[in-house]
């Protein structure tokens, strides 16, 4: 078993089905686009295939802790797409950058605490190679009323 998938299992995580559009929606973009030794990962949501796993606005409908969990689920969705594209998550050698968007109530300012759910998952799996530059931005709306969207840039072999 590949090292990253082994760590996922040890941590009690299971990869969801790769992100898929809900009925009536068609993707006009690649979930993962590779160029040279870099993979650019499109914005992902907390989904299992086309099923949205959590909805709501952090700071109104959801707590910071629930937003954190949504960010972890979003990370797992990203990993499922990377596995689908690369065949093996061990091909990811370094996480470079992540952009996290949080669907939040007005005046909510704890977006970094929410996106930590994503970042801490990546660090648990990749260790120092999981350290990445990051932005955590508040948004008034996100697709399908999800609380979190994350996109990333990773180095691959």
pLDDT tens, the chain, 157 aa long: 699 999 999 999 999 999 998 888 888 999 999 999 999 999 999 999 999 999 999 999 999 999 999 999 999 999 999 999 999 999 999 999 999 999 999 999 999 999 999 999 999 999 999 999 999 999 999 999 999 999 999 999 9
149 close to 142: Cβ distance less than 8 angstroms = yes
Positive/negative CA dihedral, 112, 113, 114, 116: positive
Q: What is the pLDDT of residue 1?
A: 63
- Which H, E and C letters describe 107-136, residue by residue? CCCCHHHHHHHHHHHHHHHHHHHHCCEEEE
Phi/psi class of residue 61: alpha, beta or left (left: φ > 0; alpha: ψ in -120 to 50)? alpha
- Which H, E and C letters describe 52-96, residue by residue? ECCCCCECCCECHHHHHHHHHHHHHHHHHHHHHHHCCHHHEEEEE
- Report residue 111 as tokens: 């977006």
How many Cα atoms within 13 Å fall on the side-chain side of residue 61?
A: 13
**What crossing angle do the helices spanning 3-10 and 111-126 adopt, rounded to 10°?**
120
pTM strictly above 0.85: yes
């Amino acid at each position: 078993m590949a090292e990253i998938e082994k760590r996922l299992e040890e941590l009690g995580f299971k990869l969801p089905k790769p992100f898929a559009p809900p009925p009536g929606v068609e993707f006009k973009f690649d979930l993962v686009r590779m160029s040279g030794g870099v993979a650019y990962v499109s914005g992902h949501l907390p989904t299992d295939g086309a099923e949205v796993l959590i909805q709501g606005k952090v700071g109104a409908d959801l707590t910071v802790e629930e937003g954190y969990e949504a960010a972890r689920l979003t990370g797992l969705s990203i990993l499922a797409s990377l596995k689908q594209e690369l065949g093996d998550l061990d091909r990811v050698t370094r996480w470079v950058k992540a952009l996290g968007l949080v669907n939040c109530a007005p005046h909510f300012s704890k977006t970094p605490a929410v996106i930590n759910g994503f970042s801490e998952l990546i660090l648990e799996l990749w260790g120092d190679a999981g350290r990445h530059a990051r932005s955590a931005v508040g948004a008034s709306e996100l697709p399908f009323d999800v609380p979190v969207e994350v996109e990333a840039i990773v180095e691959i072999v």
